Amino acid sequence: MSLNIEKQMKAQLSDEILNALELCSQTADENNFKIYLIGGIVRDLLLKKKSVDIDVTVEGDAIEFCHLLAEKKYCKILQVQSALKTVKAVFKGKTEIDFASTRQEFYPHRGHLPVVVKIGCSLQEDVYRRDFTINSLAMSLNKKNYGEVIDYVGGIKDIKNKKIRVLHDNSFNEDPSRILRALKFAARFDFCRDKHTKMLQEKYINTQLHEDISWARIKSELKQCFSLNSAKVYDMFLVNENYKLIYGQKPEIKGLEIKNLIDKYNPYNVWLVYLGTVLNNKKIIEQFCFTRSEKKIFTDIEFLMNNRLSVMNTNYDIYKFFEKRTTESILVYYLLTQRKEALKYLENLSLVRVELNGDEIQELGIKNGKEIGEILEEILKKKLSGSIVKKGDEIEFVKSKIK
């Protein structure tokens, strides 16, 4: 018996989204297009969870279909990708919908991005290019069977049984980033990989590794996984040996320890604290094409790990060691070395400031620029050792220098 989720859809989606989909539905029926909600949104409707993106697939040409919508002023077209025949459009109430033409893909090289072999294929052919059964469901938007879920691969059953299952044995060879996608979905929905999928993953990780894969996809999935700030994701990443995918190391660290530090110190790039504890392969770091500020985190980690603190440190030594290093890198350094000085710096020392500025020191009578710099540094040293506390003390110290 077929499953119809029209009721669920009406209960879960906003009126704006439902109106936009209604306009799509009418236009499709009037012009003999078959259109479907596809992928994540159908999965999320079945799971009664909120979806981020609305993906519609058009059996045929999505650009042609969207032009019909735009002609009737139902939507504005924001972006067209002519090679893949995909369109992003915005409807009333700022509802954005991604339209894709059904397509068949082929992976000419393992782990590289796929090439499209056919655009405008059947829905069934489109479904087989996808990652997991739970992401391969479609829901008809045509009047005749509005809300009917089309399941060619057993996705409904897998959602019920909380299973993540690939569509075919070659799935991870074609796209190893799916290993991380499985981790993301497992954590997000509390699902498990089915036995065969788990075996295929282990086989890939232990025998198929090669550096020549799509690192952009791997990076994007790592970012999504670790941005969840989930101890479980990190523990599973280590237990499932996913770090081998990025030629990383396995540290003796528990996800909960990282999560607690992140919650306390609030670094901007949460995901890079998790990643920084496992990724130390320079070649792979290069492949990730990090932004300048992301790259600095890795150069800082390298610096801190290669220039260890000596055993007897004054607060000033500690300050100088961590000064100018990113919070993310200091946290990674702490996690890898357990040196308490790192937390002392983040918690206390980094907050110590010299209150006097150069102009004020000049007004007090010291004119030479180099000397001003040296005095500022001396004041900092004294503040860090606790022998100077207030601004008044700083002024007294400068005056004593003049005498």
Sites of contact with ligand CTP (CB under 6 A): 39-40, 52-53, 130-131, 135-136, 175, 177-178, 181
Q: For residues 297 and 302, what is the distance between their CA atoms, to the nearest angstrom?
A: 9
Tell the smallest beta-carbon distance from residue 92 to ligand CTP (Å). 23
Tell the smallest beta-carbon distance from residue 325 to ligand CTP (Å). 33
Give the Å distances, CA to CA, from 111 to 23, 147, 177, 203.
39, 35, 8, 15
Length of the chain: 403
Q: Name which of 18 and 216 has its Cβ closer to ligand CTP.
A: 216
* 378: exposed, middle or buried (Cβ count in 10 Å: 0-12, 13-18, 19+): middle
Q: For residues 382 and 397, what is the distance between their CA atoms, to the nearest angstrom?
A: 10
Q: Name which of 101 and 135 has its Cβ closer to ligand CTP.
A: 135
* 8 A C-beta contact, residue 194 and residue 186: no
Tell the smallest beta-carbon distance from residue 257 to ligand CTP (Å). 27
Q: Name which of 86 and 136 has its Cβ closer to ligand CTP.
A: 136
Tokens of 109: 């090289």
Tell the smallest beta-carbon distance from residue 173 to ligand CTP (Å). 13
Tell the smallest beta-carbon distance from residue 142 to ligand CTP (Å). 21
DSSP 193: E
Q: Name which of 22 and 53 has its Cβ closer to ligand CTP.
A: 53
Tell the smallest beta-carbon distance from residue 52 to ligand CTP (Å). 5
Q: Name which of 136 and 329 has its Cβ closer to ligand CTP.
A: 136
Sign of dihedral through CA atoms 45, 46, 52, 54? negative
Tell the smallest beta-carbon distance from residue 218 to ligand CTP (Å). 10
Q: Is 387 helix (H, G, I), strand (E, B) or coil?
A: coil
DSSP 148: B
Q: Is 115 helix (H, G, I), strand (E, B) or coil?
A: strand
C-alpha torsion angle, residues 17, 14, 45, 230 (rounded to 10) = 110
* 67: exposed, middle or buried (Cβ count in 10 Å: 0-12, 13-18, 19+): middle
Give the residue from 143, 159, 119, 126 showing the smallest Cα distance to 38: 126
Q: Name which of 17 and 354 has its Cβ closer to ligand CTP.
A: 17
How many CA atoms does the CB half-sphere of 76 hold within 13 Å?
Answer: 6
Tell the smallest beta-carbon distance from residue 78 to ligand CTP (Å). 17
Q: Name which of 103 and 181 has its Cβ closer to ligand CTP.
A: 181
Q: For residues 201 and 194, what is the distance between their CA atoms, to the nearest angstrom?
A: 11
Tell the smallest beta-carbon distance from residue 287 to ligand CTP (Å). 17
Q: Name which of 167 and 398 has its Cβ closer to ligand CTP.
A: 167
Q: Name which of 89 and 356 has its Cβ closer to ligand CTP.
A: 89
Strand segments, DSSP code E, in 65-190 are: 75-81, 86-91, 96-101, 103-106, 115-119, 138-140, 149-150, 163-164
Q: Name which of 40 and 147 has its Cβ closer to ligand CTP.
A: 40
Q: What is the largest CA-CA distance in the chain?
A: 95
Q: Name which of 37 and 66 has its Cβ closer to ligand CTP.
A: 37
Tell the smallest beta-carbon distance from residue 394 to ligand CTP (Å). 53
Give the Å distances, CA to CA, from 399 to 243, 358, 363, 365, 377.
58, 14, 11, 8, 16
Tell the smallest beta-carbon distance from residue 288 to ligand CTP (Å). 17
Closest CB to ligand CTP: residue number? 40
